[in-house]
Amino acid sequence: MTLFSRQSPCSTIVLLALTAFIASTMIVGSTGDADARHRRGHNTRQARTIVPPLPQVPPIPEDNPRAATASDAPTPAEKPATEVQKADPQTTPLPDQKPAPEVTPAEKSSQPSRPEAPKAPQQGPLPDTAGKDQGRPEHEESAEKADPSVSPDRIYQSACPALMNGEVQGELVPPLSEGVCGERSPLKITAIGKGNAVKLAGAITTNCAMAGALANWVVEIQKEAQKGFGAEIESITTGSDYQCRKVNNGHQGRVSEHAFANAVDIVSFKFKNGKSTELTSGWKGTPEEQAFWRGLHKASCDRFMTVIGPEGDASHQGNLHLDLGCHGKSCAARICQ
């Protein structure tokens, strides 16, 4: 006999009711859980699909800042067609040239001869100008870049400040060369002095140093002329200037300073008041002449290295020799006779 058979009908009914209540509670709970999960999933989908409302006034598009910056930036200037860099003949292959047609001797004689076009100098590599002064005058740059082949006979001489400053009047002449004699930059002088220049009766040829010394010398002898003759010097007559010879035209001895355009002989003076004087007669002439020539002799000894007058030797009775020759080991000695 089973357990249920022992129980009473009431207890069986109570047990069945309790069992049914528990089963219904479990079913309701599971249904509520499913409902809650369903509601959570639905709410999540709604939250994900919510779209914000569109504005009533559409926004105005703004300019691209990059485009504005690009328009303000300066555009590089285009180079004209003439400034296009030329091809380097050393790196750019040249097209094959067709051989010139052969010309017979008869055709050559019948055809007129045409002068050949001058060949352009071969261009070498461009010089490196980094770190060099770019502000030099154009004439200096053209002189440096000049092709020496254009002027093969160019003479390199020295400019003379006395001539450039107007202290003497004349011109630079071609170099002189006669054996040991000569001068690279000789001058042909026609007047001495700046402003109120003293004319020379005949143009003389000297070097630049002699020209500068004569310019200073004229200033002093003008003072002697005012003292002795009461007038300025108008012109000077000279003797020897450049001559390739030995001293005193001798056959032996040393070469004269005349052979280097470094000496000049003074013979006579003419003054603006019409008076004149010569060394031959004036050295022992009137008192005014004697004072003038001796004052001239002294002023000359202060500015030249050699001065020889009538009391020096017989060869200088009629001319006062002036030169800038070197005397002594240090070239500081003077000869004043």
Closest by CA position to 212, among listed 166, 246, 267: 166
Is 319 a domain residue?
Answer: yes
Residues 224 and 236: their CA atoms lie apart, in Å, by 14
Structure token pair of residue 330: 């240090």
Q: What is the pLDDT of residues 206-246, one digit of tens each?
A: 999 999 999 999 999 999 999 999 999 999 999 999 999 99
In a domain, 285, yes or no: yes
Amino acid identity, position 163: L
* Structural domains of the chain, count: 1
Please provide the distance, in angstroms rounded to a whole number, between the alpha carbons at the two ends of the chain. 185
Residue 312: CB atoms within 10 Å: 17
Statement: residue 122 has pLDDT above 60: no
The arithmetic mean of pLDDT across residues 92-119, rounded, is: 52
> Is 28 a member of any domain?
no
pTM above 0.75, yes or no: no
For the cut 60, the answer to whether the pLDDT of residue 204 exceeds it is yes
* pLDDT tens-digit series, residues 5-52: 455 666 677 777 777 777 766 765 555 555 556 555 545 454 454 555
pLDDT recorded at residue 20: 77
In a domain, 54, yes or no: no
Alpha-carbon torsion (310, 312, 314, 315), positive or negative: negative
Top-confidence residue, 332 or 75? 332
According to DSSP, the β-strands at 263-271 and 320-323 are antiparallel
- Assigned domain for 311 exists: yes
Contact 280, 319 (CB under 8 A): no
- The pLDDT of residue 251 is 83
Asked whether residue 13 is assigned to any structural domain, the reply reads no
Q: Which pLDDT band, with edges at 50, 70 and 90, does 81 fall under?
A: very low
- The 8-class DSSP code of residue 247 comes to G
pLDDT at 154: 73
Task: Answer for the pair 175, 155: CB distance below 8 angstroms, yes or no.
Answer: yes
**What range does the domain containing 331 cover?**
161-336
Is residue 140, in this structure, part of any structural domain at all? no
Q: How many C-beta atoms lie closer than 10 Å to residue 225's C-beta? A: 24
Give a yes or no: residue 107 inside a domain.
Answer: no
Q: What is the pLDDT of the chain when averaged over all its residues?
A: 76
